Structure 1
Amino acid sequence: MTDQYFSEQPGSASDPVSFRLEVGGVALDLTTDAGVFSRGRLDKGTRVLLTHAPEPAEGDLLDLGCGYGPIALWLAAQRPGATVWAVDVNDRALDLVRANAAAARLSNVRVCRPDEVPDDVRFTQLWSNPPIRSGKAALHELLLRWLPRVDGPSYLVVSKNLGSDSLARWLAEQGHPTTRLSSNAGFRVLAVERSETVA
């Protein structure tokens, strides 16, 4: 596949589709598009994450690999006093997050590419349905880049069939104690703690 949702510039023609997200007392009308993960719906993994992870914190929250923004916008609606950073490499996805945030009147969302996040920003929590299909090496590099910037827990949702248990073991080997919070609909919700080696 040459046109993956983790491509910077999706090659597929734009074909927007909207749907209504309703999870945990939050209702949002969101626009999705071709070339972006989970067009036209809330994917099962993200629904499991939003349903089974603990309450979001205040402060700076990171949605890593935000896609069209369901996690980031849900966090922003749940915690209007927080600043939610929606980060992705896919330019079409980032445009969708901006439009969806504006439509929902959520002014506490900061939308940017990875290199646009200021170096001095530290995060209270990280939330992610990470891009597993980008490959193990790319996924590991992504997590090792961002986990050290998180002062509290990180919540990941990963399909059991796509290696959630092996990822949890690998994270623990990197010094990030990892606990399985939930197993539902074939997905694991993992809580990843701050590295024991970080001062």
Structure 2
Amino acid sequence: MATTKEYLNEIRQDIRFEAELCGHPLKFLSTWGIFSPREIDSGTDLLLKYLKVNPSDHCFDLGCGYGPIGLAMAKMAPQGQVLMVDKDFMAVEYSNKNAQLNKITNAKAILSNGFQHIPADSKFDVVVSNVPAKVGKEMMTIMLYDALHFMKPGGRIYLVTINGLRDYMKRNLQEVFGNYDKLKQGKDYTVSYAEKLK
């Protein structure tokens, strides 16, 4: 039986695993305290099945965690750029570690609460978020209007939420973007989509 000290040493080590995302094999390091540290969560997995990214797209991963969505987009957009943000400094640290680990040079993570610390002149073709269930309606409203502001005309937003937020997302995307499409409703999660029309 391991001593407490041995157990602590063990769980302080980086968690390592591999996953194939959008046809690309990726390696991940993560740690306890970051969302879904041992495997790609089922919401992210569902979202990535419906995500379309063009080779030169500029992409934004909102609430990146340790980077699975952002790094998958970087692989799908080799001529583009991916900016990943999280308000958790450990998530940002591990996203950047994982970009290095996978030799991905067109993605970086920075600390930001939503779009708060994004350069004002930034414009994105694709905005993606695995929306936390407890995000709160005020933050959600800010995020959606900021996403609209930072998207290029014709830009696309993909959001995955727990099914309980499905109707809420439909109403809010209709209100902010003037359109909405439900790409997939799974057992636990729904993938929502909208476009910036002009």
Q: Same fold (TM over 0.5)?
A: yes
- Specify the SS of the correspondent of 1:143: helix
Distance 1:160 1:57, change over 3 A: farther
Name which of 78, 83, 92 aligns with 2:81. 83
Structure holding more strand per residue:
2
Q: Is the contact between residue 67 and residue 94 of structure 2 (CA under 8 Å) also seen in structure 1?
A: yes
Distance 1:15 1:143 in 2: 37
TM-score, normalised to structure 2, is 0.84
Q: Is the contact between residue 22 and residue 72 of structure 2 (CA under 8 Å) also seen in structure 1?
A: no
Q: Is the contact between residue 69 and residue 100 of structure 1 (CA under 8 Å) also seen in structure 2?
A: yes
Counterpart of 1:53 in structure 2 is 51
Name which of 158, 173, 183 aligns with 1:181. 183
Name which of 168, 171, 175 aligns with 1:169. 171
Q: Is the contact between residue 158 and residue 193 of structure 2 (CA under 8 Å) also seen in structure 1?
A: yes
Give the number of equivalent residue pairs.
Answer: 183
Distance 1:58 1:15, change over 3 A: same
> Which runs of structure 2 are paired with 1:1-150 in the superposition (5 Å)?
16-56=14-54, 58-114=56-112, 115-150=116-151
* 1:118 to partner: Cα distance: 1.5
Which region of structure 1 is more displaced relative to structure 2, 66-75 or 34-43? 34-43
| Structure 2 portions without partners, runs of 5+ | 1-10
TM-score, normalised to structure 1, is 0.84
Letter matched to residue 105 of structure 1: K
Distance 2:65 2:192 in 1: 20
User: 4+ residue stretches of structure 1 with deviation over 6 A?
Assistant: none
Counterpart of 1:157 in structure 2 is 160
Q: Is the contact between residue 177 and residue 194 of structure 2 (CA under 8 Å) also seen in structure 1?
A: no
- Specify the SS of the correspondent of 2:124: coil
| Structure 1 portions without partners, runs of 5+ | 1-12
Q: Is the contact between residue 144 and residue 176 of structure 2 (CA under 8 Å) also seen in structure 1?
A: no
Tell me how large the CA RMSD over aligned residues is: 1.9
Distance 1:55 1:122 in 2: 15
* 1:143 to partner: Cα distance: 2.2
* 1:27 to partner: Cα distance: 0.7
